[in-house]
Amino acid sequence: MIAEVFRAIGEWRIWLPRTMDEARNIGAGSLFIVLLVSAFAGAVTALQTGYQFQGNLPYYVVGTLVVESIVLELGPVLTALVLAGRIGARYAAELGTMRVTEQIDALESLGRSPMSHLIIPRVLAGLVMIPILTIFANAIGVMAGWWSAKQVLPIGNADFTYGAQMFWRPFDAYFRLVTARRNPCLIILTASALIGRPDWGFLAVTAWTVLTTSICIGAARQAPSPVISSAPPSPKVSATASTCLASRT
């Protein structure tokens, strides 16, 4: 299989146009649901943070927890799980149908590589689009958290910005974008492995694809996260944050 993949890479005239089509399907087709889930995650994180820390910590800590939680955890993981359910089940159904109807066998009998027609375009499209969707999910999640916090807490824009900058490092975002690139490989490989069981039926294959991919994403997510620096920058604290600090002391 590895030799077939390397041989298929040279057939770029075949997989390049298909990669563009798959990237369009993954990006445009999944954008709305990814943004919706990330917006709810950011809003709930902000509301729960403000509720739990009310009277105990300054309100600008909400900005710290919302940004770090969305960028490091919720944004990439929820995006991967949504795509595992959407495109994982779709790919399992498509490839399973092509296997049952012998379309894959027809490609092989014509001397065409199924890798260049079916697998490589989907993997490359996922490698390109899933990090882009993760960036949009992070941005929408942070903005939803900022808006929700302002609605229910006495926190201003300067307070939220100060909290967001407290423990922020650009490496955090870069680290999660790099690790997000393994998710399309998990989704495509799981769907490709399960299409060899047509006796299960399409419903069982798609369900096991989503379940197995979600478990693999959760297991891969157990890689250690970057350690948050304990030396925050010292921007100017706003009046509300100063009042919170004074009341705490």
Q: What is the pLDDT along the chain (249 residues), one digit of tens a residue?
A: 566 666 777 777 888 888 898 888 888 888 899 999 999 999 888 888 777 776 677 878 888 888 888 888 888 888 888 888 888 778 877 877 787 788 888 887 887 878 888 888 888 888 888 888 989 999 999 999 999 888 888 888 888 888 888 878 888 778 777 777 777 667 766 666 655 555 566 667 677 777 777 777 777 666 555 444 444 444 444 444 444 444 444
248 C-beta neighbours (distance < 10 Å), count = 10
Please say whether the beta carbons of 78 and 38 come within 8 A: yes
Cα distances (angstroms) measured from residue 242 to each of 87, 121, 161, 247: 48, 54, 14, 9
Q: How far apart are CA 229 and CA 220, in angstroms?
A: 23
Given this model, what pLDDT does residue 98 score? 80
Long-range contacts (CB closer than 8 Å, 24 or more residues apart) made by 25-33: 25/87, 25/125, 26/83, 26/87, 26/125, 26/126, 26/129, 26/130, 26/133, 27/129, 27/132, 27/133, 29/86, 30/82, 30/83, 30/86, 30/87, 30/133, 31/133, 31/136, 33/82, 33/86
236 C-beta neighbours (distance < 10 Å), count = 8
Q: Which tokens go with 222?
A: 């157990």
Q: How far apart are CA 207 and CA 219, in angstroms?
A: 18
pTM higher than the cut 0.85: no
- If we measure between CA atoms, which residue out of 133, 161, 132 comes closest to residue 145? 161
